[in-house]
Structure 1
Amino acid sequence: MMMSLLYKLVQIPRFSDDRGSLSFVEFDQILDFSIKRVYWLYDFKKDRGGHAHKDLQQFIFCTHGSVDFILDDGQNRESVTLDSPDKGLYIIKPLWREVTNFQNNPQVIVLASDIYKESDYIKSYEEFKTWKFNS
């Protein structure tokens, strides 16, 4: 499967005037899932991620600073930089992900399609590749 079918970068609407800027996500226009969980990452000390999800879909955006998401489908790796609050990463299908290259004290918000479920995580890259090619 092509990596472009597993995730997409989304331009989030942005309205700016002399008061500042406002961005938003309307779920029936951008997302194909209902949000069940919202969490945020900040005060990064070292790389994060290093896992995949079996079913979870996520919409991720960086409200301040920048981070790189390394996305891997088991055969191909791509790097996506989130460096603007009006750009989002929509992870649609299972991908191994790593979060790295933190610049300017980034703040990342994640909208998730389900509540936290330990059973949805794959924490070994080799296990991910085996699972991916046997699914």
Structure 2
Amino acid sequence: MIEFPKLGAPEIGYISVTEQLKQLPFEVQRTFWTYYTPESIVRGRHAHHATEQVLVAVAGRITVTTEMPNGTVSVYRLEDPYVGLYVPPNAWHTMQYSHSAVQLVFASLPYDEKDYIRNYEKFKEIWNTLQR
């Protein structure tokens, strides 16, 4: 988890800032956001060969489940707009959103379809082979 500065007070509101994205463990080459995702939809369902990401719920709630190549499964609840979740390469991840959720994503690489592993069985096969 990465915490961004939270400046302000309840009576006036808050601002979170990152200058030159110094809190992130990589140089950002792509930024995107998702919104109005129905609560019944599970997004993600993939891993990346090389891309690193930081996910931020700038509004609403996002439940993120990650599975690492070694089989470790973790569940995170993102609901504070000043907290980001680092998702390393090779982590299978899914996201489920509250209807009002807006997710901001900072990515280390531009979009490249070849970087995606979209089939879970293929993900397991690739990483089981590499761990031998």
Q: What's the TM-score, normalizing by structure 2?
A: 0.87
User: Do residues 113 (structure 1) and 102 (structure 2) align?
Assistant: no
* Match 2:68 to one of 65, 73, 76: 73
Which residue identity is paired with 1:119?
Answer: K
Q: In structure 2, list runs of 5 or more residues that go unmatched.
A: none
The CA distance in 1 between the partners of 2:112 and 2:54, in whole Å, is 17
Note if contact 2:47-2:89 (Cα within 8 Å) is conserved in structure 1. Answer: no
The CA distance in 1 between the partners of 2:76 and 2:62, in whole Å, is 8
User: Do residues 62 (structure 1) and 54 (structure 2) align?
Assistant: no
Query: Aligned-pair RMSD on alpha carbons?
Result: 1.6
Q: Which moved more, 1:9-18 or 1:34-43?
A: 9-18
* Match 1:44 to one of 26, 37, 45: 37
Quote the residue 1:6 is aligned against: none
Q: What's the TM-score, normalizing by structure 1?
A: 0.86
Quote the residue 2:24 is aligned against: 31
Q: In structure 1, list runs of 5 or more residues that go unmatched.
A: 1-8
Quote the residue 2:6 is aligned against: 14
Note the C-alpha offset of 1:31: 1.6
Which residue identity is paired with 1:91?
Answer: V
Q: Deviations over 1:103-133 (max 9, x none)?
A: 2510000011111000000001111111112
Note if contact 2:55-2:85 (Cα within 8 Å) is conserved in structure 1. Answer: yes
Which residue identity is paired with 2:117?
Answer: I
Aligned length: 126
The CA distance in 2 between the partners of 1:127 and 1:104, in whole Å, is 31
The CA distance in 2 between the partners of 1:61 and 1:132, in whole Å, is 27
Q: Deviations over 1:54-89 (max 9, x none)?
A: 100011101110010010114121101100101100
Note if contact 1:57-1:91 (Cα within 8 Å) is conserved in structure 2. Answer: yes
